[in-house]
Amino acid sequence: MAAAPTVLIPAYRRVPSTRRALASLLEAGARKVILIDDEGESGGAALAEEFPALEIDVLTTRKPAYWTGSIVLGIERARANGDAAVLFFNQDVTVPADYFERLHEVTAANPGALVGSAVVYASEPARVWSAGGRVEWWGRGITVSHHGKAVGELPEGPFPVDWLFGMGTFVPTEVFARIGLPDAARFPMSWGDTDFSLRARAAGIPVLVAPRARLSHDVGAYDARAAGPPTAGLYVSWLRDDRHNLSLSAHAEIWRRFGPRGLWPLSLALRVAFLLANYVRIRLLFPGEGREA
């Protein structure tokens, strides 16, 4: 098997989570990691000493870089080092021992492609959290493929998607010369991965999911299946938060850039209606007192 790509891990606090991620990467055969220690809050230097078998390059920021900004810093270092490919990652995911073998099966057969991973719930490994996503400009908008389905329902082989989550996305470094870096200025925390993969697809770069290359994700409070339903007030605060994955301002920018030409505001209105209806759906699926945080 070819050498594993350089793994880019944005990290903010949560040292035990990052430790688990690094341990799993080492067992799976990773050798080079760029750990972006955001604001120096993540114990980067100490973690590098804990894993001498990994070549860990720690980059420490002095002000918040968030996920996308941290990924950009990692990309710039990897390109300066002459690395051929990088793997976007998260500090709250782990990989099985055969991860890079399964990923390589698809990347070797599809040179130049962006290749994403199938992500399962850490708390429920037989259930899919994501496997890339689709865009329905005149429907639900941005959708997550296979969300909530059984792992056994995933296709056997690689399949095309419209966009990829940042965690577990393989990117040949030559792609950055073609389409530029992720947009950390406009999408500091969420949507930078969506924007980047939509730009790649628009440039004719294949965007695929390797369903047998799987990550286990310690899903956060934004997922009602993992954390319970939010109150209406909390849900609205997510829509107003520029760094949340439900951010309406980020939605508007994605629709302006990629939506139906001249008609994207109408398409976006459908998406907003879906988000509001989806809150009702969440409360019906997950009854009980809503949480405030």
Predicted local distance difference test score (pLDDT) of residue 224: 65
Closest CA to 99 of 214, 251, 233, 220: 214
**Beta strand 6-11 with 32-37: parallel, antiparallel or unpaired?**
parallel
Predicted local distance difference test score (pLDDT) of residue 1: 55
Q: Do 258 and 136 share a structural domain?
A: no
Kindly state whether residue 130 falls inside one of the protein's structural domains.
yes
Q: Do 184 and 251 share a structural domain?
A: no
Predicted local distance difference test score (pLDDT) of residue 105: 97
Helix 232-240, helix 264-285: angle, nearest 10: 150
Q: Do 87 and 43 share a structural domain?
A: yes
Closest CA to 78 of 163, 194, 170, 13: 170
Q: What is this structure's pTM?
A: 0.92
Predicted local distance difference test score (pLDDT) of residue 4: 87
Q: What is the domain range of residue 43?
A: 6-217
CB within 8 Å of 191: residues ≥ 6 apart? 245, 247, 250, 253, 254
| C-alpha to C-alpha distance for 9 and 33, rounded to whole angstroms | 7
Q: Do 253 and 179 share a structural domain?
A: no
Predicted local distance difference test score (pLDDT) of residue 40: 84
Kindly state whether residue 260 falls inside one of the protein's structural domains.
yes
Closest CA to 243 of 43, 64, 10, 59: 64
Kindly state whether residue 139 falls inside one of the protein's structural domains.
yes
Q: What CA dihedral angle connects 182, 270, 241 and 236, to 10 degrees? A: -160
Query: Consecutive 10-residue runs of the chain (293 residues): their mean pLDDT?
Result: 86 93 96 93 88 95 93 97 97 96 97 97 94 95 94 96 96 97 94 97 98 91 70 89 89 97 96 92 80 70
pLDDT in tens, 170-184: 999 999 999 999 999
- How many structural domains does the chain have? 2
Kindly state whether residue 293 falls inside one of the protein's structural domains.
no
Q: Of 217, 235, 255, which residue constitutes the final position of a domain?
A: 217
Kindly state whether residue 155 falls inside one of the protein's structural domains.
yes
Q: Do 200 and 117 share a structural domain?
A: yes
| H/E stretch holding 174 | helix 174-179
Kindly state whether residue 1 falls inside one of the protein's structural domains.
no
Q: Do 247 and 155 share a structural domain?
A: no
Q: Do 263 and 162 share a structural domain?
A: no
CATH code where residue 123 lies: 3.90.550.60
Q: Do 159 and 46 share a structural domain?
A: yes
Q: Do 203 and 241 share a structural domain?
A: no
